[in-house]
Structure 1
Amino acid sequence: MKIIKIHNLLVLSIALFTSCGNNNEILVNTNNDLQVENVEIKYGFTSINRENDSELFNSNLKTVFDGKYKNNLSTIFGENDFLIIYDDKFYYSFRHFIFTDFKSSSPKGHEYNFSLYKRNDTILCDVDIIGEEPMKFTRFMSEIKTAKNKLGNTPIEKAGTIYNMKEMEEEKQ
């Protein structure tokens, strides 16, 4: 009887510990006639071995922002892939790699800041990730209708090896 109670207590403790997750926050702002309500952010894992970016839209990514933060972003050590969509017409995908500390069951939270704005007929996205694994960049969003001709947001013929994280080449803006 005592062994069963200890076992149940251990199982309950492990379940509570692993379900705590991490404290992440997503903040989105827009300007130049863009609306936050038209921003959708999906999160999960996508293979860099995909044929083209159109596969991103058929993946099992979960929506973590749809006009407002859904309070359901729980990052993991390793590959954390994001797909930013504006008005079902533009997209940008990237990978935030979080290195393990070999001490914790999950990474500490990050603050994910996304700012979308127009420049001429294109939309740019500033990403500023604050936390243990910071990341900051600005990129042009691609039109979804061109996704079958792109890989890692890059025209397929220019893509080469895609890592889609910190090794991202700087784009000329």
Structure 2
Amino acid sequence: MKLNLSGAAVILAAGLIGLTGCASGGNSGSAPATQSVAPAPATPSMASPSSVPQGSAELKVADSKLGKIVVDAKGMTVYYFTKDVKDSGKSNCTGECIAAWPPVLTESDNPKVEGVTGAVGTIPTPEGKKQITINGMPIYLWVKDTAPGDTTGQDVNEVFYVVAPDGQMIK
């Protein structure tokens, strides 16, 4: 049996073109969820809050080289942004900042936590989602943290710092 590779290549190319069309979304009239100059690399930490198994903690405590820190449900380190204002009800990380530092989101008004003793709450994002706060400060993930326990965002630009379980900023 002789395999016709050129025919298979045409079929494969047509399929990919069809899939590419689906990826554009076709949402005329709605803004993209995030605006970024360059697409952020996909990491396990950027999963939607609905991908967290029901009943599991959205925030928990983990050991790190910086001591005990707060991590998300997938073990990814969370950070404070020092340009945010405590209890302001908003994030000051926008545009290119939010592309590199996505907010830690939840679908609940009362995110479930394990070991976190700081006051946990939420604030609305401009897109109408709920960003988790600790002690009145929004928390973020760092797209360059690629594995649970990474803390490569610590002290980036002297404005991002990991969060201790009691909500203190670890500098």
Superposition TM-score, scaled by structure 1 size: 0.29
Rg bigger for which structure? 2
Superposition TM-score, scaled by structure 2 size: 0.30
